[in-house]
Amino acid sequence: MKSLYDDNIAQEFTTDLEYRVYTSRLLGGDPSLVLHGGGNTSVKSVVNGEEILYVKGSGWDLATIEEAGFAPVKLDVLKEMATLVKLSDTDMVSQQKEAMIDKSAPNPSVEAILHAIIPFKYVDHTHSDAVVTISNSVNGIENIQEVYPNYLIIPYVMPGFILAQTIYNELKNIDWETCEGIILHNHGIFTFDNDPKVSYEKMINGVTRAEEFLDKNAELVIEKYMPRADLDVVKLQTIISKEKGYDVFVKVNQSPLALHYASARNIKELATRGVLTPEHIIRTKRNPMIIEDSDIQKSIDLFEEEYLEYYNQFTSNEIMINPTPNWAVVKNYGTVSFGKDEKEASIIEDINNHTMQAVLKADMLGGYQSISLADSFDMEYWELEQAKLKK
Ligand SMILES: [Zn+2]
């Protein structure tokens, strides 16, 4: 992966935020680093004598972010929040909002506290495919340690206050002189520096190490398959629309990758091992439905039955999400993504493409292994997501 930082462009910048927007867009422009609103960045600055963290606001995409997309939050308030013993994510969000110096700005990212406690001016965070592919495998812990000997490595913890608190405790005994970055297992990577270019290039170099490891140990060869099965797409669309209660847009994917994936001997074992990075679960659910023959209704019934089992196993009275799948892997045919409109179906398809690649590569490292069922449930039924449903 090459640095796209252009000193000729950067020499025009005079403010911290101008640099922050520039390198955020460089990261956001590469879908192998962040997809559709994933990842976040920040810069610590001074406004009217007060230290302020400008952190990516929710609803903004790094690829297109502008200065207005950064939420300005009082740094000392965020640092103080990190020391709390207990804080619900709902309270965290409202306290972060309280601490903004411009109330019309977007809500700060849920990872704002984490950005605040890293004592460098620029902090960059991505969900790099290469990093999470290595991490999401049975030997992920050992392999990540090998690739990142000078990084702080954090076992999987759900995003939100508990993650910020975990890192706050870890940072007490850290030697910043030698720490090159932070890896969050099954989630992503952080780099940081007082210089925007250095922080960005630490990200590029960190991700390159993961890419080189994969090139050496998991080089993926996509075999050429022709579709060997047919699918009644209209029937599938009709059934999914009925189950979801609205007309869905369906997007069929018969790219070489999708065909390779759908042509595996046991697609159910292959494709139902969880998401690449936790936040994807909100878009895709943990798994796709699997269609192996022409009985589409039977396949949906089975998916929903298994979804209900998963819900019942972990619920403590959360509102159940509609159990209909958001995408399907269809034996010898390809994949199909369902969205409320074309945009949503395309986002889901993009995520699937990155996940399929990662699964195939991680299998070459000994086996793909995502977060557990229990951790998946906690993410899918996060109180912040439940709050949206209650509205
Ligand atoms: Zn993240």
193 CA → ligand 1 middle, Å: 18
CA of 57 from ligand 1 middle (Å) equals 13
Distance (Å) from CA 226 to ligand 1 centroid: 37
Rg (CA), the chain: 21
Q: How far does the centroid of ligand 1 lie from the alpha carbon of residue 38, in Å?
A: 7
* pLDDT tens string 283-339: 999 999 999 998 999 999 999 999 999 999 999 999 999 999 999 999 999 999 999
C-alpha distances (whole Å) from 382 to each of 6, 60, 62 are 40, 20, 23
Q: How far is the CA of 313 from the centre of ligand 1 (A)?
A: 27
3-state helix, strand, coil in the chain (%, to 5): 45, 15, 40
Residue 127 C-alpha to ligand 1 middle, in angstroms? 6
CA 213 – ligand 1 centroid, Å: 22
Could you tell me the distance, in angstroms and rounded to a whole number, from the CA of residue 39 to the centre of ligand 1?
Answer: 5
Please tell me the distance between residue 274's alpha carbon and the centre of ligand 1 in angstroms.
17
Give the C-alpha separation, 47 to 25, whole Å: 23
- Cα 70 to ligand 1 centre (Å): 16
DSSP E strands: which ranges in the chain? 40-47, 50-56, 70-74, 122-126, 151-154, 181-184, 188-193, 249-253, 289-291, 327-330, 334-339
Distance 60 CA to ligand 1 centre (A): 14
Sheet of 70-74: strand order equals 70-74, 50-56, 40-47, 122-126, 188-193, 181-184, 151-154
For residues 328 and 261, is the Cβ–Cβ distance under 8 A?
Answer: no
Residue recorded with tokens 């965290």: 92
Residue 252 burial (CB count, 10 A):
18
CA 124 to chain centre: 14
Q: pLDDT tens per residue, the chain (391 residues)?
A: 999 999 999 999 999 999 999 999 999 999 999 998 899 999 999 999 999 999 999 999 999 999 999 999 999 999 999 999 999 999 999 999 999 999 999 999 999 999 999 999 999 999 999 999 999 999 999 999 999 999 999 999 999 999 999 999 999 989 999 999 999 999 999 999 999 999 999 999 999 999 999 999 999 999 899 999 999 999 999 999 999 999 999 999 999 999 999 999 999 999 999 999 999 999 999 999 999 998 999 999 999 999 999 999 999 999 999 999 999 999 999 999 999 999 999 999 999 999 999 999 999 999 999 999 999 999 999 998 888 877 7
Give the max Cα distance, the chain. Answer: 67
Cα of 219 from ligand 1 centre, angstroms: 26
Print the SS3 string covering 1-38. Answer: CCCCCCHHHHCCCCCHHHHHHHHHHHHHCCCCCCCCCC
In angstroms, the Cα distances linking 275 to 120, 168, 356 are 31, 26, 10
> Bridge partners of 181?
151
Distance 162 CA to ligand 1 centre (A): 13
Distance between first and last Cα of the chain: 42
Q: Tell how far the Cα of 279 is from the centroid of ligand 1, in angstroms.
A: 8
